[in-house]
Structure 1
């Protein structure tokens, strides 16, 4: 039995010459780390075989040799599911905020107009009275007598 040397993540994987599409790697780490790595390869559907975990002498780490299929292309893109709840919230929250802001501003405008109605009515009444006093009626002066009007 030949021993496979330790291969780190940064090194290229050793290729099995009998089957060029199978990669052999030695995984070293805590039992949880090794189990997670093996589960990742197994869940991807590429696991060919693995050895039994062996405890490293004088250490809490274990070692396992894993053989898996090499996929020559890049990993497929992850499928993103549309989450309708997030989309609805992303649209509804700003829309409700905009409607609330418009309603608040409309209420402020109505209150301002209601409080200013007596002032506006008073100004309009004064302008009407001035217009009536300055109105020319026939041949009379508008109230101020000029030298030649005769009255």
Structure 2
């Protein structure tokens, strides 16, 4: 059995690569042997002598080696997926806090004035509950 005969016994595969190998007979034989020994050789043509007399050419068809799947860590992507909403929530909470403080500072004089008026009214009503009337007339003192 020849190499070409062994290669033709395999079924055709759609993911095949076709390459032309040019070099000295030893180089071409080593290249073909490497592909054949790896189990990927599908077919090859007969070696042809090039006009310079020192080199030969062969066209080989072989399977594309499957790339090794490397499992990449997704820690950065996971961290970004978690950090982005957290940063957004913190930013919105900070913005709303600042707006609340500004609104409270804007209304603070009005609130302080209302508390002061209520305090004065409470003091005046407390004093008038006794027997003497300090100036605010009550219905029981007849002033």
* TM-score normalised by the chain length of structure 1: 0.48
Distance 2:41 2:62 in 1: 8
Q: Which residue of 2 aligns with 1:125?
A: 116
Structure 1 segments (4+ residues) deviating >4 Å: none
Q: Which residue of 1 aligns with 2:92?
A: 101
Distance 1:79 1:99, change over 3 A: same
Q: Which has the higher helix share?
A: 2
Q: After the TM superposition, which residues 69-148 of structure 1 pair with which residues of structure 2 at under 5 Å, given as runs?
A: 80-135=71-126, 136-140=128-132, 143-146=137-140
Q: Which has the higher contact order (CA 8 A, sep 6+)?
A: 2
Distance 1:51 1:124, change over 3 A: same
Distance 1:85 1:50 in 2: 43
Give the gaps of 5 or more residues in structure 2: 19-37, 46-60, 64-68
Instruction: Give the counterpart of 2:41 among 26, 42, 49.
Output: 49
* TM-score normalised by the chain length of structure 2: 0.50
Give CA deviations for 1:12-47 in whole Å, capped at 9, x if unaligned: xxxx8xxxxxxx32135xxxx5329xxxxxxxxx73
**Structure label with greater radius of gyration:** 2
Q: Secondary structure at the match of 1:93?
A: helix
Displacement after TM superposition at 1:140 (Å) = 3.9
Distance 1:126 1:134 in 2: 12
Q: Secondary structure at the match of 1:110?
A: helix
Distance 2:114 2:88 in 1: 38
Distance 1:127 1:48 in 2: 96
